[in-house]
Each structure stands twice: as structure tokens, then as C-alpha cells.
Structure 1
């Protein structure tokens, strides 16, 4: 049903600080620049950083993961280690490093099967939810499938066009937290069908056109279904 992650939006107090971090330190290209937001290109996904002066806001303390080529991992560690308090985690044969952006979002750079060079996509987003089963049912109705559940911790990892983790309030690796009032955009061939799959579970219907449907999920996250 959902075929790709179109964007992830984060909240930023200073667009210039966000630009310095994401463009100069992480090498992302600025695709659009406005008074309220910047749009960076991360593979096929846009990373939006947005000032908190309207709706939808971007996400606060959002943990998410960029894809980097396997062979570049050590280079990225060397590049960032002097200026950031990096943490590392091993997931089977792959490694990820973690650092924080100027607004307290936990940014993961993880080894993935991507071409690069540099950051080449966004493969995971973590949302904070109030009731795990309620939110899990919402995203499963959109075609996400569970692949891992936290043992004794109320969290679930779902796989769809990217990995989506749902966490009841808790701390993860590098003291990461799930994002609140996150704004996600998903590509789909049929926005109306996506709406129909969850219309009895949404908090609100924000906008409905031929090209896009915007809803708020049970926890208030903005979710847009964009026609491809």
C-alpha cells in the first residue's frame, strides 16, 4: 500500500544551526530553502527541518537512521569522533554510530546496502506512542509488518517502505527517545485507499485532495499519503 518514505520533518530552533550540521557536517544537499524550513536530500527521501511557528510542526527528540555504505563506516567515525560524543551498536554483521543534532534528535548512521557516496537514504524512524497496541494496529492496517518486539519493553519494530519503530516512553541506545508530533510523508499509488484502511483509527483528517491525504495518527503524528 505504501511504497516509499517521501519525507521526515524535524523541528529546529535555528535553521542556520541545522544547515551547518546537516549540510556541512553530514554532507546533505539543501534542495529547498525558505523562511520557515529547509529541505535536505537524503537519497530518495527528504529531510525537512522546520521552525515551530505553525502546523504541522516537525518532530521533537526524534530518533531516526540514515543509510551509509558499508565501506564508509570507519571514515564516518573518524570524521565525526573529534567533535561528537559518538556511541556504537552492532546489529549482526552491521554497525551503527549515534550522535545528536543541535536540536536533540538522535541521528544514527548505519551500514546498509546502498551505493553512496555518503548518506544515501533514510531507513528507520522511531515514534513515541501512548498505547503500543493501538498504534501498532494503525500502522499494520497501512501494510507494515512486525519483525521484532522488545522483550519486557513496550516497543515493536515494523517493516514497510522503511523500518518504523513504535516505543512507549523509554530510552534506547544512546539514550534515544521516540519522536513526538513527528511529520511523515509516505508515497502510495492510492491515497484514498490508504485513508480507507485507517479512517476509523485516525485522530483527525487534516486535508484531502486528489494528490494527497493528510491525517493525524492516534498519537497526533502527522501522516501524509502522497500520490505517486
Structure 2
């Protein structure tokens, strides 16, 4: 149903330091022709927003000057080639308080951006160089059971549950971690009013799934714009 995570929006207080962090520290480049600009032209104002290319997923840094806002204190994970991990650690450790966690044979490092978003760089089967896609986003939800049911209707499949039963991991075009309010690894929190953009090969099916549970839903040409009960903003485009 959903085929790809097209973008992730983050709210920033000041655009310049946020842009420096992602361009210089994480070595992301400004997207040449951002897909997100076709959804809301206000996002393309260089004084209010900038769109970066995170290995095929757009990362939108946006000041809170209108709706949708980007996500607050969002924890998200980016893939890096296995062989680059030690180089990234060496490059970042002097300026950042890094933490490391291991998942099977894969290592991940965690650091924070200037606005309190927790960025994970995790070893993955990607070519690189550098960051090559966003593979996980964490959403804060009021009711885990309800949120799991809602995202299941969009084709996400539950693959893991936290030992405290207050979080689940769902696989889809991106891994979604649904957390009731809590602190996770590296004291990360689930994102509030996160802005997610997806592509689909069946917009009618997505619309039918969304209209069962979203708080608002608009369709214009080849896109859907919705707001879920936890305040997260979902846009779906035909691929």
C-alpha cells in the first residue's frame, strides 16, 4: 500500500544552526528538486525551511510559522554503510556526547541535533557514502493499542514489543516505533506532531484506510493530507 518514506519534517527554532548541523556535521546536501515543495509551496521559503537529501529520503527543517509543523524531539534513525561506522564515531566524538547500542551484529550511535532531536546512525546494508536513507521514525502516541491498530490498517506489521508493553515496532516502507510517553535509548523521546510523507501505488486504498480513523482528510489530485488522533501529519502521494 505505502511504498516509500518520501520525507520526514523536523521543527527547528533557528534555521541556520540546524542547517549547519545537518549539512556540515552529518554531511547532507540540499535537495535539488524537493518533492515536498509540490505539496505546500510555503515549505520552500529559504527563510523558513530547507530540504536536505538524506540518501533518497527528504529531511525538511522547518521553523514553526504555519501548519503542518515539523516534529518535536523526534527520534529517527539513518542508515550508514557498515565499514563507515568507526569513521563516523571518530569524526563526531569530540563535539558530541555519543552513545552506542548494538542490535545483533549492527552497531548504532546516537547524538542530538541543536533542537533536541535524537539522531541515530545505524549500520545497514547500504552503499553510501554517508547517510543512505531513513529507516526508522519514533512516534509518541496516547494509546499504544489504538495506534497499532490504526497503522496496521495502512499495511504496517508489528514485529516486536517492548518488555514494558508500552512500545511496539511496526515494519513497512519505514520502521515505525510507537511509544507511549517515555524515555528510550539515549534518553530519546517519541516525536510529537511528526510530519511524514509517503508514496503509494494505490491512493484509493490508502484513502479508504485513512478515512476510518484520521481526524481530518483532504484529497487533491494525486495526494492525500491527513492528521491522526495523536496529531501526526501524514501526506501520501501517488508514486
Match for 1:80 among 87, 92, 114?
A: 92
4+ runs of 1 displaced by more than 2 Å?
none
Deviations 1:20-41 (A, max 9, x none): 1000010000126622110000
Contact 1:129 1:219 in 2 (8 A): yes
Residue 155 (structure 1) shift: 0.3
184-193 or 117-126: bigger deviation: 184-193
Q: Aligned partners of 2:23 and 2:204: how far apart in 1? A: 36
Residue 125 (structure 1) shift: 0.1
Q: How many residues align?
A: 227
SS at match of 1:174: helix
Residue 216 (structure 1) shift: 0.6
Q: Aligned partners of 1:30 and 1:9: how far apart in 2? A: 14
Residue 166 (structure 1) shift: 0.2
- Residue pairs, 1:1-228, within 5 angstroms: 1-31=1-31, 34-205=46-217, 207-228=218-239
Q: Aligned partners of 2:165 and 2:49: how far apart in 1? A: 35
Residue 189 (structure 1) shift: 1.4
Contact 1:7 1:48 in 2 (8 A): yes
Q: Aligned partners of 1:119 and 1:69: how far apart in 2? A: 8
SS at match of 1:123: strand
SS at match of 1:23: helix
105-114 or 144-153: bigger deviation: 144-153
Q: Aligned partners of 1:193 and 1:127: how far apart in 2? A: 23
209-218 or 69-78: bigger deviation: 209-218
SS at match of 1:116: coil
Q: Aligned partners of 1:44 and 1:191: how far apart in 2? A: 21
Residue 139 (structure 1) shift: 0.6
Gaps of 5+ in 1: none
TM normalised by structure 2 equals 0.93
Q: Aligned partners of 2:111 and 2:78: how far apart in 1? A: 12
SS at match of 2:89: helix
Contact 1:184 1:222 in 2 (8 A): yes
Q: Aligned partners of 1:74 and 1:177: how far apart in 2? A: 26
Deviations 1:22-76 (A, max 9, x none): 0001000012662211000011110001000100000000000010000000000
214-223 or 54-63: bigger deviation: 214-223
Q: Aligned partners of 2:109 and 2:153: how far apart in 1? A: 32
Contact 1:58 1:182 in 2 (8 A): yes
Q: Aligned partners of 2:185 and 2:226: how far apart in 1? A: 30
Contact 1:3 1:188 in 2 (8 A): yes
